[in-house]
């Protein structure tokens, strides 16, 4: 149902807001009321205004400050890189890490922004030392963890490490609870990660949560412990803070608070290499992409499905949709699934789309795309199978449009340009296709893309190309309350 059809349907709804009939002159009766003021009235009014102003001031003081992103000098843009988890799980070692880092360079991925080589769970010994320190596995990292990070840095990359906010990691290796900062009997984990081992990023998980009587704080407080430790370590050492990537799977609405503590936060459960998982995560994030901006990014989980092409349940078009949605919603882009040595040409074509990556890494505009129309469903519908289809956002070089075909067969997709809040009425726009890398003429008022593949995506960059042609009819591209200068509401305008 298009916009006009929805308006007609609303006109028959007794609960719909009412407007003046089409083609009528709007007039209001003039009502004259006379008041007589005395000095007593004036004094009482002044006192009332004074008390009201004082109450409002005190109320403002009592309200918490709005959540703003932590700008501590790192993580302004979403981070990009490779993670060991899905490809290797616990079967990691220094050889695997070195070879993966080398492939980031030789495949050209480093040069377009994939700069983090992240080591996930299972790198440590099962128990801390007698002094309370985490130590790397002697079997998996016989040369020592610092030797590994030095190698990564020598390649021009950055290094990421993993820990947990609970007693243990999700694979039951030592977690960091009560070891975040330096204590009397324990070495601070943050000092180990940042100073001794020289990691640049910390992924922080949410397993093995302590009993309530021990922790006596919620998830927010548990993550604040490490955030405080990171700030203290940076201040005492003079080092740049470690980039803090929170992972609590969206359990406690991290989009409301996590940007106070770190640079990214997981918004959902773990991803899967199938379309239902992709559509579910897109659906969930459609309701809180507003929280993403510079220094704070909703993390939609790893870009793992890219490597499921021919090795899982995703088609090439679905993998393109996955990568496009993640990139344009400004999620971190962390490659995971198969070993980099097994990467296909199809996967590389997706991962190296520099026009899509340029939106993700826009240094002028940090906000994400958001839906302007759901399409198949009424707007604001929560549907894990059929998420929003029509999205837009700002960028340094124009308005970004994402059209997502959620149907299981090809479909034509149509929208009115001014449905997007970032499009100016009365203007025409040049159209750049970010996947075909072609300039496709000029759009005036409306745009139709034919035969979008099943579960496929179209990504466009619209640039202002001047005033639209004169004399277009109807006079408004969106007819709701389209009104002549003389007050006449045009037919179809209500």
Question: Hey, which residues are catalytic here?
Answer: 205, 270
CA dist 118 and 120 (Å) reads: 6
111-120: b or e for each residue (b if 16 or more CB lie within 10 Å)? Answer: eebbbbbbbb
Among the residues of 63-183, which ranges form H helices?
85-88, 94-106, 145-154
How far, in Å, CA of 455 to CA of 404, rounded? Answer: 7
**What's the CA gap between 316 and 309, in Å, rounded?**
6
Q: What is the token pair recorded at 313?
A: 């349940």
| Start-to-end C-alpha separation, the chain | 17
Alpha helices in 238-353 (DSSP H): 275-285, 316-328, 345-351
Question: What's the number of CA atoms in the CB half-sphere (13 Å) around residue 166?
Answer: 18
Angstrom distance (rounded) from CA 51 to CA 57? 10
Both structure tokens of 406:
């959620």
Long-range contacts of 300-303 (CB under 8 A, 24+ apart): 300/267, 300/268, 300/271, 300/325, 300/326, 300/329, 300/331, 301/266, 301/268, 301/270, 301/271, 302/83, 302/85, 302/86, 302/271, 302/334, 302/335, 302/336, 302/337, 303/333, 303/334, 303/335, 303/336, 303/351
- Measured CA to CA, the distance from residue 131 to residue 149 in angstroms comes to 23
Which is nearest to 145 in space by CA: 97, 85, 187?
97
């Amino acid at each position: 149902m298009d916009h006009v059809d929805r308006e007609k349907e609303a006109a028959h709804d007794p609960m719909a807001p009412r407007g003046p009939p089409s083609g009528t002159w709007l007039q209001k009766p003039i009502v004259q009321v006379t008041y007589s003021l005395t000095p007593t009235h004036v004094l009482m009014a002044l006192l009332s205004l004074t008390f009201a102003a004082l109450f409002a001031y005190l109320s403002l003081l009592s309200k918490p400050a709005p959540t703003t992103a932590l700008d501590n000098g790192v993580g302004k843009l979403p981070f990009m890189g490779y993670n060991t988890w899905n490809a290797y799980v616990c079967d990691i070692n220094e050889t695997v890490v070195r070879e993966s880092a080398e492939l980031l360079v030789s495949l050209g991925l480093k040069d377009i922004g994939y700069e983090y080589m992240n080591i996930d769970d299972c790198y440590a010994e099962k128990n801390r030392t007698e002094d309370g320190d985490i130590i790397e596995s002697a079997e998996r990292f016989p040369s020592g963890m610092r030797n590994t990070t030095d190698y990564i840095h020598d390649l021009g990359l950055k290094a990421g490490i993993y820990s947990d906010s609970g007693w243990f990691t999700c694979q039951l290796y030592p977690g960091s609870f009560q070891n975040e900062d330096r204590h009397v009997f324990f070495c601070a984990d943050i000092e180990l990660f940042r100073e001794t081992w020289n990691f640049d990023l910390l992924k922080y998980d949410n397993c093995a949560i302590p009993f309530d009587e021990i922790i006596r704080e919620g998830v927010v407080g548990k993550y604040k412990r490490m955030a405080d430790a990171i700030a203290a370590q940076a201040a005492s050492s003079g080092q740049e803070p470690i980039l803090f990537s929170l992972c609590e799977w969206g359990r406690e609405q991290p989009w409301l608070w996590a940007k106070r503590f770190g640079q990214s936060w997981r918004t959902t459960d773990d991803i899967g290499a199938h379309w239902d998982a992709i559509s579910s995560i897109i659906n969930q994030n459609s309701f809180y992409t507003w929280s993403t901006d510079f220094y704070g990014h909703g993390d939609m989980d790893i870009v793992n499905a890219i490597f499921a092409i021919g090795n899982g349940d995703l088609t090439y078009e679905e993998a393109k949709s996955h990568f496009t949605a993640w990139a344009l919603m400004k999620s971190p882009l962390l490659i995971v699934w198969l070993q980099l040595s097994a990467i296909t040409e199809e996967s590389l074509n997706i991962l190296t789309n520099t026009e899509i990556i340029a939106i993700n890494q826009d240094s002028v505009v940090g906000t994400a795309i958001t839906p302007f129309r759901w399409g198949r469903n009424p707007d604001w519908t929560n549907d894990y199978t059929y998420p929003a289809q029509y999205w837009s956002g700002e960028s340094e070089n124009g308005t970004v449009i994402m059209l997502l075909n959620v149907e299981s067969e090809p479909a034509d997709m149509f929208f009115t340009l001014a449905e997007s809040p970032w499009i100016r009425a009365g203007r025409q726009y040049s159209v750049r296709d970010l996947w075909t890398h072609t300039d496709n003429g000029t759009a005036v008022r409306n745009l139709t893309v034919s035969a979008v593949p099943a579960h496929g995506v179209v990504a466009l960059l619209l640039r202002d190309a001047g005033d639209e042609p004169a004399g277009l009819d109807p006079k408004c591209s969106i007819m709701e309350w389209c009104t002549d200068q003389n007050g006449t509401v045009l037919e179809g305008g209500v």
